[in-house]
Amino acid sequence: MKFEYTGRHLEVTPAIKNHVEEHFERIDHLFEREADRAHIIIEVEHGQHRSEIVVKWRNQILTANTTLEDMYKSISMTIDKIDKQALKIKNKVIDKSHKAKKVGEVAPKPIADVAPADTEPRIISTDNYRVKPMTAEEARLMLEDEGSQFFVFRDAHNEKVSVIYKREDGNFGLIQP
C-alpha cells in the first residue's frame, strides 16, 4: 500500500510516518494487498490535533477523522475507525456470497404425472350485448369509439344482423347476410 502524507501547520516527521505504517501493518490482513493507497492528512489548529485518513479499497473509499489533544492517539483512533469500516465491508461481501443457494435447491423438481394439454381449439364466450338497429355509418362511429376490431349491429334498413370491421388498409369492411 502506498502512503501519502499531508501536514497542515506542522511537518510530518519520520516518527509519525512510522507510527502510521505500524498501525496499518496490524490491519493489513483485511485489505489483502488490494488497497491502492492511503492518504493521511494531519493538522494542528488551536491546540487540537486532527488526523484524517482516506483509503481507496476495492470500489470503496474509506474515510475517518479524529480530533484530540495528542497526535499519536488521534492517528491510532482514526486507523481503528478505518479498520471497523473495512471489516464491515468485508463481512458484507462474505455474507452475500455465503447466502447463495446451490443449484440443486433452486432448480425446479420434475413433475411425474403431467397430462398433455388439449390441442383442439375451444369456443370461449367473451361479451353479451344487445344488438340495436342503426345505419352502417353509426356502426362505424361506434366501432371507432370502442376501439375493438369489429362491431355487430342490426341494420336499420333491412333489420338483419350485420358486422362492420377494420381492415388492414385503414378502411372498414361490412358483412351483411
Asked if 65 and 121 touch (Cβ cutoff 8 Å), the reply is no
Q: What is the CA radius of gyration of the chain?
A: 39
Is the pTM of the predicted complex or chain greater than 0.85? no
Pick the closest to residue 35 from 5, 54, 57, 20 (CA basis).
57
State the pLDDT at residue 108.
65
All three cell numbers of 166: 377494420
State the pLDDT at residue 114.
62
Asked if 152 and 140 touch (Cβ cutoff 8 Å), the reply is no
Mean pLDDT of the chain, nearest integer: 81
Which helix (H) or strand (E) is 115 found in, with range?
none
Q: What is the spatial distance between Cα 128 and Cα 142, in angstroms, rounded to a whole number?
A: 16
Each residue's pLDDT tens digit, 72-106: 999 999 999 988 988 888 877 766 666 666 666 66
Each residue's pLDDT tens digit, 14-37: 999 999 888 888 877 777 656 678
Which of 47-61, 96-110, 123-137 has the weakest average pLDDT?
Answer: 96-110
Q: What is the spatial distance between Cα 20 and Cα 70, in angstroms, rounded to a whole number?
A: 14
State the pLDDT at residue 78.
92
The mean pLDDT of 118-131, rounded to a whole number, is 71
* Backbone phi and psi for residue 65, each to the nearest 5 degrees, phi listed first: -150, 155
Each residue's pLDDT tens digit, 136-169: 888 888 878 777 788 888 888 888 888 888 888 8
What count of Cα atoms within 13 Å lies in the side-chain half-sphere of residue 21? 11
